Structure 1
Amino acid sequence: MDQAVPTRDLPADWRDLFALTKPRVMTLVVFTGLCGLLAAPAPMHPVLAFTAVLCIALGAGGAGALNMWYEADLDAKMKRTAKRPLPGGRLSPETAFQFAVGLCLGSVVLMDLATNHLAAGILAFSIFFYAIIYTAWLKRRTPQNIVIGGAAGAFPPLIGWVAATGSIDLLPVLLFSLIFLWTPPHFWALSLFVKSDYAAAGVPMLPVTNGVEHTRKQIALYTLPMAAVAIAPWPLGLTGPLYGVLATVLSAVFLLLSLRVLANKSTDPATMGPERALFKFSILYLFALFGALVVDRFL
């Protein structure tokens, strides 16, 4: 890793430290973790439930901060990330690293004390997977970085469920699989219209290494098993019709948008409206599915 990023000798602003945690990404992580906890059949004391979700947030924030610390040199080369705290020179690498490690260790220890060893162990592994397997190993080496690395973001609902129950069951495994399969089409849709950024930074994202047309085909292909896994809890009797119908409708829309992406022949980011539409909808898709899961379970 090249840490030759200019910094100013100034005290760290709390907003810069908060930005290190990738708050937009953390929002989805915390929401899916909370939904996994609420969907579990074992009710938790509100204080312990809040603590478990807080640990998921702290662990995700710490992993995100480690990612930003390690990738400061890449972020400096991309327009959409050049103003982040490290490439922007507002934080030193040492401060960022210490902050990240503190969040990661604190989240795992607190999760272990508040819930159970299994939940803490999965949280620790998810942090390791994102920071080491994805960030340090996969991202700069293979266009399959998002495919394999997507597992890191798929752990929160499983962690939430295990924090409540102390065990791993079929439904949280399906939720893990859903996010795992959702991640490639979600990020590849983004990478299609910011391809030049990844190319400039030397990141081997799929559109850079295999071309735009191949990436569009992969988005459509991954959407099929993702939709199947999203709908699966209903016929398996793990959820009711409210979730099942909504999952079916939303997955059909996702598939339609992915086919529009496949049909688009443009390589100009300015005319990649279908890709932008799919990227935006993919975020709504996951929020809506997990929200419906919780409502369905309470009903």
Structure 2
Amino acid sequence: MILVFGKTGQVASALRELVPDAHFAGRDEADLSRPEDCAALIAKLQPSGVINAAAYTAVDRAEEEAELARTVNAQAPAAMAKACAEVGIPLVHISTDYVFDGSGEGARSPDDPIAPLNAYGQTKAEGEDAVRKSGADYAIIRTSWVFSRFGGNFVKTMLRLGAERDTLRIVADQIGGPTPAEAIAKTCLSALDALHADRAASGVYHLSGTPDVSWADFARAIFDEAGLEVTVEDIPTKDFPTPAARPLNSRLDCSSLSAIGATRPQWRPALEPIIEEFKAS
């Protein structure tokens, strides 16, 4: 039995469709603000593997709630990883492109130096470090720009705004790979299989959708697929200030995915079920 931390998030929801017999732990059972609860649940259930699909993801609010974000994003994964090491099971931990500073134009490889720009990225980097040092067999999956039918995300926001307005101003100098939550879920399961087969598979992996695109061009693709007549006006990041700084370059080198039996997904086909659900509603 696989233990998944997370119940209603995008990746956890995608995992539920793929492995409905997994044990999904929500806040009522394991609140990540109490890391000891996470360790206790692993010790109690003795699962075959653990996927941490839960995190503090309110990027801007993390600037004011850095300690809470640190507890959830660093201390909880540390407790999970230590518990996994103690019972000899692998851990798959989801991380983020926000551990990088977004400089340059090249795709970042898993072993490139990290330099977070904001509190969220810093706490996720600390979580990665704790997992690496735990002694557990692990796969850290860094991903970016997650979207799905579940929860709130950029695709759903654009569909809602596109149905209400004929012009939108959207940031065009941040570049990255939109990533379907289903692809992340499948990669987590592939990583668990790889770790069971060979503990040498432990390491950091990058997963993002292809092709890389700006937020503005991603919006254009969404409107095109949905048949919405919306004019997108490109703006620079400086014209859309936020409490937390965002990396301009979120390109990820995903070439090492083959080591865990995964591939980089095309993001455009994954828009279709979200748009169909939106139209139906």
Higher strand share: 2
Pairwise same-fold verdict (TM > 0.5): no
Length-normalised TM-score, structure 2? 0.30
Q: Rg: which structure is higher? A: 1
Length-normalised TM-score, structure 1? 0.29
